[in-house]
Amino acid sequence: MTTLISFIIVLGVLIFIHELGHFVLAKLLGVGVEKFSLGFGPKLIGIKRGETEYRISILPLGGYVKMVGEAPGEEVPERDLSRSFTNKPVGKRAAIVAAGPMMNLVLAALLLPVIFMIGVQVPAYLDKEAVVGFVAPDEPAAKAGIREGDIITSADGKEVDDWEDLLSALALNPGKPMELGAVRGSETIKVSITPSSSEAGAGYGGIFPPMRPVIGDVASGYPAKEAGIKAGDEILEVNGKKIAHWAELEEIIHKSGDEKDFIIKRDGGTLSFRVKPKFNKDAKIYLIGISRKEEQVLRKYGFFESMEKGAAASIDMTGKLFIVIKGLVLGKYSLKTLGGPIMIAQVAGKAAQAGISDLLSLVAFLSLQLGIINLFPIPVLDGGHILFFGIEFVKGSPLSEKFMAIAQQLGIALLIALMVLVTYNDLFRIFG
């Protein structure tokens, strides 16, 4: 029930804000609005105020604002011509259409600072001294000579108090040489490191804080679950090699699908398991279906810092969205990774159980995605309409009704195909 209620709230907010953008600007620009609907299809409930009927319809996966004279070729009474959408200048029509996705972007921009003020869960190690727990082989830190146990104290002359300082310094210098100061035993050393650039453009050093190899979750449908490994287990050895760090464990598992012997600590005793990793085509690595148990702490920020972090989070999420879209287009990521309404419902349910901050974070994340994707120049989406208005502006006359009808049909077919795909993916994740 929590999952269903959370799903309705999340989706309802996103749809309402989007349609409110269309509605408000249409009213401000003198366009008549006949219907404001949350959902599609037959009406569940509705109320009429003035010329507008406000309604909730049976299919909750969207909504619409029906404006006077909106449809091409629609007959409009003489008295309503001045309030007709199609009779407004092309710039005003484009603005009304763009107002929906823009409201989603505004909602995300407003929510993110609020989330940081309420408080966000962050890894506990970020506040701890930058003691190196593991150095990934062949990565920048290893090449620079950094070793396990080193304590990083400075980056390019600036003091490093904790892991957050260090990771921020590395992230801001992709591909640029920088000097790190460190304490190694009783001596102070300096090393030059050139962080590599991640796919998102941030710098990466290949160093990790201490992370005990304790399992936080075990995924269904993967070898670890089938073998009997449980959350809370601590992995002590793999194939006779002692494991002291989670990243070290990942290095061993990800490389090959050969059967591996695990020695695990559970309830004060030790158990042995033989597990054969499963190849994941999307990630292109071998997995056994475990995730790390990570200590989290609640961190709250002041107003100005929240504004700064909210803006940074917006930019970061936008960049990652375009990286994923690029990967899907180029075939780097599988279409199987896409999720639909069922996945959103599941994530919404978990977010609601985690707390208000997580639920608002999900709303902000989805609202940002909805706003950006809706601006893509695809027929049926708002961006498609804006593209047509742009062509009309350059051409000096509207596009033909036949062309518009065909474009709309293609857009609808594309959306239906996408909905079928993501629903299949959702069901496959549950039952496959």
What dihedral do alpha carbons 64, 69, 73, 77 form, nearest 10°? 140
Distance CA 418, CA 148 (A): 47
Distance CA 144, CA 234 (A): 31
- State how beta strands 296-299 and 178-184 pair: unpaired
Tell me how many degrees the CA angle 307-309-312 measures, rounded to the nearest 5: 110
Structure tokens at 28: 């401000």
Task: Judge if 125-208 and 215-289 fold alike in CATH terms.
Answer: yes
Report the candidate in 38, 36, 40, 27 with the shortest Cα–Cα distance to residue 85.
27
Domain ranges of the chain: 2-118+365-431, 125-208, 215-289
Provide the residue count of the chain.
Answer: 432
164 as an active site residue: the answer is no
Residue with tokens 């992709």: 174
Report the candidate in 164, 163, 162, 196 with the shortest Cα–Cα distance to residue 177.
196
Distance CA 227, CA 232 (A): 15
Mention every residue, 6+ apart, whose C-beta is less than 8 A from residue 165.
130, 155, 158, 159
Report the candidate in 123, 212, 195 with the shortest Cα–Cα distance to residue 152.
195
Integer angstrom CA distances of residue 233 from 230, 247, 351: 6, 16, 25
Contact 291, 260 (CB under 8 A): no
Radius of gyration of the chain (CA): 27
Q: Quote the DSSP letter at residue 81.
A: G
Distance CA 228, CA 207 (A): 31
Cα 77 to its chain centre, rounded Å, is: 46
Contact 113, 305 (CB under 8 A): no
Q: What is the pLDDT of residue 432?
A: 63
Q: What is the pLDDT of residue 387?
A: 93
Structure tokens at 119: 């408080």
User: Amino acid letter at 384?
Assistant: G
pLDDT in tens, the chain (432 residues): 778 888 888 888 999 999 999 999 999 999 999 999 998 888 999 999 989 999 999 888 789 999 998 877 777 788 878 899 988 999 999 999 999 999 999 999 999 999 999 999 889 999 999 999 999 988 999 999 999 999 999 999 999 999 999 999 999 899 999 999 999 988 999 999 999 988 777 899 999 999 999 999 998 889 999 999 999 999 999 999 999 999 999 989 998 889 999 999 999 899 999 999 998 877 788 999 999 998 888 999 999 999 999 999 999 889 888 888 888 888 777 778 778 888 888 888 888 887 888 899 999 999 999 999 999 998 889 999 999 999 989 988 888 888 888 888 888 888 888 888 888 888 887 776
Residue 313, classed as helix, strand or coil, is helix
CATH number of 215-289: 2.30.42.10
Distance CA 432, CA 121 (A): 32
What homologous superfamily is domain 125-208 in, according to CATH?
PDZ domain (2.30.42.10)
Backbone conformation region of residue 201, classed left if phi is above 0, alpha if psi is from -120 to 50, else beta: left
Contact 402, 121 (CB under 8 A): no
318-324's contacts with Cβ under 8 Å and 24+ in sequence apart are 318/368, 318/372, 319/200, 319/201, 320/200, 321/368, 321/369, 321/372, 323/199, 323/200
Contact 29, 84 (CB under 8 A): no
Distance CA 52, CA 254 (A): 58
Structure tokens at 115: 């989330």
